Structure 1
Amino acid sequence: MSPNSNVEKRVRAKYPDIEIKKILLSQIFNKIGRGNISRQKDLIPSKNGVNLIVQKNVDNGYSGNFELGENRIFKAQSIIIGRQTGWVYYQPEKFMTTDGVLVLESDFQITDSQGLYLASAVNKQMGPFGYNNPVSVAKLKKLDIYLPFSSNGMIAFDYMEAYIKELEAERIKELEAYLVATGLNDYVLTDEEEKVLGHLKSGEIEWGVFKITDVFNITNTHNILKKDIVPDSGSTPYVTAGENNNGVSTCITYDLGKIERGNSILIAGKTMVVTYQPQDFFSNDSHNLSLNLRENNRYEKNTQLFLVSSLKAALFHKYEWGNSISSKKIKSDYISLPINNDKRPNYQIMSVYIKAIEKLVIKGVVEWKNKQIEATRDVANSD
């Protein structure tokens, strides 16, 4: 039984005549475009600029706001597909994108819920595509997707709308139960956390610049190819270059002589994905870098998460596909960190700051969840 089978069962009860049928993607999206940005480094950041969408599997592909310049802009309510990755996202706002992204547009208006349903339908057909078989306009024009149809032969957009709203309502219930069970609904800041947030905001905390190699011991990981592993064969994470699920593709059993030390930071050499790995793990690529703090009494999760963010800020703009980071190049790179009176990294402030941010995020989630529950009740009461 699929995870969404209960949702589908409830919605089908309201729409008993629905039938799922095959249809050419090009019959829904009659325009298939492609981004024209080849050098992200040349873009000029702008707070009020246009959304930049790239090939990454988090944040809906969003990579910041930039001046449009002479770049092509795409309309809202479009769907993007990464050519090399097959990652699919619905875009509710206008955007620009890279030449590695294809854009599906239609002449008719859709709601956000319908857009999410359509994106999911497209995503389900992306299995054959990837780096060795990239998506193309020609391939998409021949691609079939599966959509709900009413008894009159028309696409059932009202069913899509109802399905997504029902799915959202179920996820909100699950979130509410999870927050209570884990104690994450407690988001009150301590005095120390409020003090650190205030000092950072006011600029009272002093920062220092350090060579990354002075802060970390850096080594290349081992190289364990996907074809050489047995997925789900053990309990040790097999970490790849993706951002989804903290880079963990599966858990395996393998040669312990090739295991990487946990409680460390991993930089995916080719994609610049930076993750904190709490457990010992196996790595898929020897281009990946494992970073272990030189001050080995500072191995604490929140500190590591702060360092992950700092490394991204220091390196993300510098390296990209085609100009990948390496253990040699990183020797010339620097990182900015809060410091103590001895001019050394202040790991305590880093840890407290991350805990405070975690609580603020949880507070936002709880408040959003409460609003959604009230909205769901209002809809239910009006039926």
Structure 2
Amino acid sequence: MERYVSKVNITRVLRTIYLTHGLSRVEIARILDINKSTVSKIVSFLEELGIVETAAVGEAGPTGGRRPLHLRIRADWGCVMGLEIQTEAFTVVGVNLQGEVFFSHTEPLDLRTVSLVDAFIGIVDRFRPSLENTGMPILGIGVGLPGFVDPVRGVLCASMPFEQYEEINFVREARERLGIQVPVLVDNDANCGCWGELAFRHSSRPGNFIFVLGEHRKHTIAMDNHRIMALGLGLVLNGQVHHGETFSAGEFRSILYKEDQVNQFSISDDQARQFLQNSRVNEMIVDELARHIAFLVNILNLRKVVIGGPIEVLADQIQKAVRNHAQTNWAYPQKVDFEMEVSRLGERAVAYGAAGMYLERLIRIPSVETGTEATAAVGIDLLPQVGQQNQLVRR
């Protein structure tokens, strides 16, 4: 038997255990169509790393024999730091490998006095001890930012909220100065909402959905007098977060938008400032937003709509309006069938999803293709411990 095991198969086994807890080696071999002895070798390797453990001992079959050992990811083997940086505040969370938040903190941040990368370094240096004092080493850091983000290169391409229109090589600059050898991943804030839905849903992962992120914040870092509702959309199509050709997918401005306004809707800026304070303004925003969501639900045949951020307080109104507009604009007799949910972590949804982005990359099957996408580390290459045991693995 070959001494080495491919990283592709190791990641496939790790992914299967992560998504479906309690499987035995025999069940994994059957699901993946891999020889049982190969699966056993991979599981032994993952157990040596400590990331996989036996969850329970199953019952023997009708003919007797050895009882199967059920496997699971060890929740406390390591943790992920998730971070959202916005125009006037940041949120940082610590998440274990089962998706449980064990640490959370939010506070104001003034990016007029400190650069984005400097702010990031300061946050990591400040909160890293709090996470690692739990005994779980940080395996990776995920960051959600507003604007166009290229997650493969780790670049913030442009951000109106940050008043930044030239590229910032965020990941490269951050890693050069951070001083710790862990992966740093970055994506758009609404896309991070999508990552959270994918990473922590396990066996019930939705394949086609939209994440609607609505936050009440300063429009840009310099505009103190324009604290309004900012809206972004994240799309998942066929199980993949959709970024678009220039990474601008999900950037929202209403088709009814009026020129020379700051807010994204057809209402006046004076009205927009009253969001969440004036019920009539809330109704106008909800109706206009619902029309756009319903259009996308019908056009793309989406199966789910997830509402995240402070806009969750209007979730019932949004749900009713979206369903009404989706059905009104549907030409067939069948009812438009889709689910609507509220994100599980409210204002922490972006930071939580940023942590989920790392876990999604960890269980992503390495590509055999060439090019930029293939060069981004995925699968067990994201685990620094693997390099210490590379005598077992090959490409």
TM-score, normalising length from structure 1? 0.23
TM-score, normalising length from structure 2? 0.22
Higher relative contact order (CA 8 A, sep 6+): 2
